[in-house]
Structure 1
Amino acid sequence: MSASQGPHSLAFRVMRLCRPSFRIDHPLRLDALDHILGEDFFEDNACDFRSDLCYSFSGDGKRKPAMEDVGYWRRFELADLSDLIGFPGVLVLPQAFGAIYLGETFCSYISINNSSKYEIRDIIIKAEIQTERQRVLLLDTARSPVESIRSGGRYDFIVEHDVKELGPHTLVCTALYNDGDGERKYLPQFFKFVVANPLSVRTKVRSVKETTYLEACIENHTKSSLYMDQVDFEPSVQWTATTVGCDYDKPNAGPLSRQIINPPAFVRPGGTNNYLYQLKMSVHEPAQVKEEVNSVLGKLQITWRTNLGEPGRLQTQQILGNPITQKEVELQILELPLVIVSGTPFLVHLCLMNHTDRRMGPFEVFLSQENSAEEKVIMANGLWTLALSQLEAFGSTHFSLNLVATKVGALKMSGIAVVCSREKKIYDTLAAIEIFVGFK
């Protein structure tokens, strides 16, 4: 039997459930003499009785001397510091649906009322949230219909939904019921609201040699101050992160050791708060190393509370950094002497690493002298080329180069390269390093 349309005995009423707000009063304080002498009486400089009549009444009705200048403009001055708050201790229930923000929990009190003179029976009630992308069922009494609602009675229920999408939302409430004459009717009602974005997150990524810095700026778009409970950064697998200028991080232990937390902070409406993270590559297992390292840095988990403690939570999308190419064979300096003297040989300790899953080599490490004459201030002390054996997959080897400086001052040491002995292919060249060479 199809559900009939027409006048309905039932009607839905929807009220959003949220915490009350503070009532703030800004009273205009008056002087009792204004009702007797007029508000401009003390503004008349020709008044001879100013010193005798300049008084006001306290709250208990007692007469007390007033200040010498009690003109009308003083009515806006604070008599006590408590007047600055303007809170009379009264809370106000929400008078409208109000603003709904992404990351909050939408909670609604729904009442279905019987306004007819008859008892309504076998009511199937459904409530769902519709967005542009999905439909979420909040309540369905199809398996256990409401037996009856008497004339003038109602049936109440509460629904909750975690808001995870921006834009228009529709709360759809439907009822399928038997009317007083036994006719089956279908009642749909729609309640629309828009979900706004409470925060905007702007990020900047900068790379300095082997370190990447991530700056996150969080701006409050709501009309009230937000208590930023936590701003957690969860780096991806190949990164480790520390917060710059913050000693509130979790200890590096346990399953949450990759979670970086900032201390709580208040952000006023339209205000911003900035966070800075230092990220470094972290490879715990050789199998995790790839030639092309994923540029995904991680994501932010943001939780906050409003003035009266209502919680909210947002998770950003994956934050991307600059693409990083992992070298097949990498040459790194491990240690340089603290004191380098001109004409005296010194050792540079280096490490050669194989980042591939196959055997590489053999290799030759040499100090190039082919560029400008300026580079010859650092020369090899002995053989120009050092031979190294093959490296196993994901293996490494340590070795030292014997060098000598021929000049004094701040010099640049460059040209140290590694080449495959068979293919004559240069795999890596060290960037120029500035050293200071002193006298003997």
Structure 2
Amino acid sequence: MLISNLSPGRESTFGKMSYLQPMDTRQYLYCLKPKTEYAEKAGVIKGVTVIGKLDIVWKTNLGEKGRLQTSQLQRMAPGYGDIRLSLEVIPDTVNLEEPFDIVCKITNCSERTMDLVMEMCNMRSIHWCGISGRQLGKLTPGASLLLPLTVFSSEQGLQSISGLRLTDTFLKRTYEYDDIAQVCVVCPFMSNEC
């Protein structure tokens, strides 16, 4: 059976065409993300449950065509609560005990203006550089702000970026952000010191 999972102008991970022998199976994992214009508007995708359907077409080695079309796929859009925090910039690999920069994006998903204060809590291996308790100012509904931060790790291996706290001073409500992302921490020197 001949399989081609190409969209016009794109090449498959497996090349232009790939073949399956009888009784072979292949699994594909897809990650669906909303288009940028919709992702920027936090409230637009809240109620979306139908995300589309799969249309799979194949051709056997004798040229016979086959087709499988699923019914509409149902999925609840993730609930972000009042504030969504995402990482816009983060390195894959960093050096042990050397500061590195990340950029967080904070989006107000609520229907009210928030006055935000950011606290950075050091964890066992992740340490924040900068001033904790910093006033971020007012964030209107649907608005976002980019926040550059500096971090370093005191342990090697895959480390989880954790320890950010955002407090809305209007409601005195604190939002905790742990396990935001992971970064691989390596020793830059090949010695026994690391």
SS in 2 for 1:426: strand
1:391 Cα deviation from its structure 2 partner:
2.3
Quick one: distance in 2 between partners of 1:379 and 1:306?
56
**Aligned residue type for 2:173:** K
Contact kept, 8 Å, 1:378 with 1:404, in 2: the verdict is yes
**Aligned residue type for 2:44:** V
Highest Rg: 1 or 2?
1
SS in 1 for 2:113: coil
> Equivalent of 1:425, from 162, 168, 173?
173
* Closer, same or farther: CA 290–248 of 1 in aligned 2, 3 Å: closer
Quick one: distance in 2 between partners of 1:266 and 1:304?
11
* Closer, same or farther: CA 414–304 of 1 in aligned 2, 3 Å: closer
* Closer, same or farther: CA 304–390 of 1 in aligned 2, 3 Å: same
Contact kept, 8 Å, 2:94 with 2:100, in 1: the verdict is no
> Equivalent of 1:363, from 116, 141, 151?
116
1:251 Cα deviation from its structure 2 partner:
2.7
Is 1:436 the counterpart of 2:193? The answer is: no
Query: Counterpart of 1:395?
Result: 143
* Closer, same or farther: CA 331–305 of 1 in aligned 2, 3 Å: closer
Question: Which structure has more RCO (C-alpha within 8 Å, separation ≥ 6)?
Answer: 2
1:277 Cα deviation from its structure 2 partner:
3.9
SS in 1 for 2:134: strand
Number of corresponding residues: 178
Query: Counterpart of 1:328?
Result: 82
> Equivalent of 2:34, from 260, 267, 282?
282
TM-score (norm 2): 0.64
Is 1:386 the counterpart of 2:138? The answer is: no
1:289 Cα deviation from its structure 2 partner:
2.8
Query: Counterpart of 2:192?
Result: none
Query: What does the per-residue CA deviation read over 1:149-200, in whole Å, with 9 as the maximum and x for residues that have no partner?
Result: xxxxxxxxxxxxxxxxxxxxxxxxxxxxxxxxxxxxxxxxxxxxxxxxxxxx
CA RMSD of aligned residues (A): 4.1
> Equivalent of 2:52, from 298, 302, 315?
298
Query: Counterpart of 1:315?
Result: 69
> Equivalent of 1:352, from 103, 106, 112?
106
**Aligned residue type for 1:436:** V
- Runs of 5+ unmatched residues, structure 2: 11-15, 190-194
TM-score (norm 1): 0.33
Quick one: distance in 2 between partners of 1:306 and 1:404?
54
1:438 Cα deviation from its structure 2 partner:
4.6
Contact kept, 8 Å, 2:46 with 2:77, in 1: the verdict is no
Quick one: distance in 2 between partners of 1:439 and 1:304?
49
> Equivalent of 1:414, from 148, 151, 162?
162
> Equivalent of 2:8, from 238, 243, 250?
250
Contact kept, 8 Å, 1:291 with 1:328, in 2: the verdict is no
**Structure with the larger helix share:** 1
- Runs of 5+ unmatched residues, structure 1: 1-226, 231-245, 253-261, 370-374
Query: Counterpart of 2:13?
Result: none
Identity among equivalent positions (%) equals 21
Quick one: distance in 2 between partners of 1:367 and 1:386?
9
Query: What does the per-residue CA deviation read over 1:285-325, in whole Å, with 9 as the maximum and x for residues that have no partner?
Result: 3277333552x443233456789977665532123457632
Where do residues 185-264 of structure 1 align in structure 2 (5 Å cutoff)? 248-251=6-9
1:397 Cα deviation from its structure 2 partner:
0.9
